[in-house]
Structure 1
Amino acid sequence: MTATERFLCADAARIRGDPMVGTAPHGFVWILIEYRGAWPANGFDGLDLEPGTKALVFSAARAVRARILLVRRHGRRRPEGPGRWAVLRYETSGAHRQQWGTWSGDEDLAEIAGALGAPGELGCPPVVLVCAHGQHDTCCAVRGRPVGRTLSERWPDLVWECTHVGGDRFAANVVVVPDGVYYGGLDARSSVTALEEHLADRIHAEHLRGYTDLFPPQQAAVAAVLRRFGPAGRHDYAVAATFRDNDHWRISITGRPSPPTAFEVEVRAYRTPPCQLTCRGPATSSAVAYEVTSIRVG
């Protein structure tokens, strides 16, 4: 690379062929805060909010291991009126819950702490988050914003741009919450197809990083079944048992379609060669990747 060339981690990851399956961060609860100003590189942590309110929200989120993300509509358009916030909760039954509110002053965000302990509402449409956090990583802007624009034009009420969701080198990243599904390596065209299929409850292995209720080897196992046997609904497959032997896992998966099907999937973890993994991190490091070595039916 010459001195005038700019390193882009997503381009480098594609050249290397970095596997992205099994890279969805584990989690069940998300806090969204609409913030129309500039996003700090570290997101919510970097906001200049009233200290007591900020500490309350952070403490309440940490207690339930919720992830706090700043969001905005594409184009940084500034609608009239207060901003919005949301608490989104994944449930294994598929009956996901949401609670929404508004805020004008910093102190209004204290309501988030109470919402984290409330049941929330059922039957709300999913929220589609597109990571476009350029202050955190260049690729999130370069690849994320075109995807945010395209999806916002198609589904303006569902789509928000958001701060860092993890896996910069897999940009453009799209997360559907509270479904808890991570997609990566998307562009404008593939993002529309992936979301169309997702909203029809047909999840494909292509571009799937994983489900956030599963741990990385389990994510890899479910993705392998989807790749082998075709798309399926978000809750059509369940992990029944997981056995670990050092860097190897044997994972039992049951299929909910009638008649139910059982799969035994073997997964191996390994470390990738050291390389630069993000645009802003010049130090090299390795990542853990997952390889499915066998799938048995029945």
Structure 2
Amino acid sequence: MTATERFFCADAARTHGDPLAGTAPHGSVWILIEYRGGWPPNGFDGLHLEPDTKRLLFSAAQAVRARVLLIRRHGRHSLEGTRRWAVLRYESSGAYRQQWGTWSRDEDLAEIVGALGAPGELGRPPVVLVCAHGQHDTCCAVRGRPAGRALSERWPDLVWECTHVGGDRFAANVVVAPDGVYYGGLDARSSVATVEEHLADRIHAEYLRGYTDLFPPQQAAVAAVLERFGAAGRHDYAVIGTSRDGDHWRVRITGRPPRPTVVDVEVRSHRAPPRQLTCRGLSMSSAVVYEVTSIRVG
């Protein structure tokens, strides 16, 4: 690359063949805050909100390890009027819970703290989040916004653009919550096809980064099982055991019929050579890669 060429991390990731599986951040609680103005590079942390309310919300989010995302509908919208917030939670039982509210003054956001301690509602449709945070990383805008537009045209009530979700080089990134499923490497066409399959409870391995209730080697193992045996529902496979020996993991997965009852997956981790991983981050970093070395049906 010459000095005049611009670096795009998503293009570089595709050139290097960076694997998607095993790259979803761990977590099961999301706080969404509709904010139609410009998003600071660091998202919620950079907002100029009433200080006491912001501290209260930040502390409550930290206590439950919630990810706080700013959201907005695709396209141009008035900055005025009532905005929405939500608390989305994925429970260990597999239940999906949501609590929604509205805010017009900064102080109204304190209601989120109470929602974090409430059970939330079952049965709501999932939320489709598309990272389009151009102030954080250029590829999130260049690749995220076309995907956001296509998804919004197909499911206008489900889809929101959002701030940074992690893994800039995998743009366009789509998160389905509270399902806790990360997809990456998408474009306008593949994002619609992928979400359509997801909503029909058919998760494919092709663009899957991972399930956020699992840790990276477990995510890689589940993705490998999906690739080997075909698409499956979010709860058709379950991780029931994980053991580690240095940089090797053995992950045991059970499946619902007609899928394999027990599958043992061997995973090895290693560090890729250092290189620039984001558009704005000029320092060289070395990403951890999780490679599946064997799959055995029990």
| 4+ aligned runs moved over 3 Å, structure 1 | none
Match of 2:238 in 1: 238
CA distance in 2, matches of 1:201, 1:149: 23
Given that residues 30 and 88 in structure 1 are in contact (C-alpha distance below 8 angstroms), is that contact kept between their aligned partners in structure 2?
Answer: yes
CA–CA distance in 2 between the matches of 1:194 and 1:77? Answer: 27
Task: Measure the CA separation in 2 of the matches of 1:236 and 1:220.
Answer: 16
CA spacing shift, 1:79–1:236, aligned 2, 3 Å:
farther
| Alignment TM-score, normalising by the size of structure 2 | 0.98
Residue 5 of structure 1, CA deviation: 1.2
**Is 2:83 the counterpart of 1:86?**
no
Alpha-carbon spacing, 1:280–1:259, altered in 2? closer, same or farther (3 Å): closer
Query: Post-superposition shift, 1:94?
Result: 2.7
Residue 273 of structure 2 is aligned to residue 273 of structure 1: yes
Partner amino acid for 1:239?
V
Q: Normalised by the size of structure 1, how large is the TM-score?
A: 0.98
User: 8 Å contact 1:84–1:101 — kept in the other structure?
Assistant: yes
Secondary structure of the residue that 1:40 maps to in structure 2? coil
Gaps in structure 1 of 5+ consecutive residues: none
Structure 1 residue 276: Cα displacement: 0.2
Question: Corresponding residue for 1:10?
Answer: 10
* Cα-to-partner distance string for 1:75-132 (whole Å, 9 max, x where unaligned): 1323763000000000233320000000000000000000000000000000000000
CA RMSD between the two structures: 1.0
Q: Which runs of 5+ in 2 are unaligned?
A: none
> How far off is 1:242 after superposition?
0.3
The alpha-carbon deviation at position 180 of structure 1 amounts to 0.1
Partners of 1:258 and 1:272 in 2: CA distance? 37
Cα distance in structure 2, aligned partners of 1:116 and 1:135 = 28
The 3-state SS of whatever aligns with 2:275 is coil
In the alignment, residue 86 of structure 1 is paired with which amino acid? A
Look up the equivalent residue of 1:45 and give its one-letter code. D
| Correspondence for 2:199 | 199
CA deviations over 1:5-57 (Å, ceiling 9, x no partner)? 11000000100111111000000100000001000000000000000000000
Structure 1 Cα separation of the partners of residues 79 and 176 of structure 2: 23
Equivalent AA in structure 2 for residue 253 of structure 1: I
Q: Percent identity?
A: 82
3-state SS of the aligned residue for 1:74? coil
- Give 1:108's aligned residue: 108
1:246-288 C-alpha deviation (Å, 9 max, x unpaired): 0000010000235761000000000000000000001111000
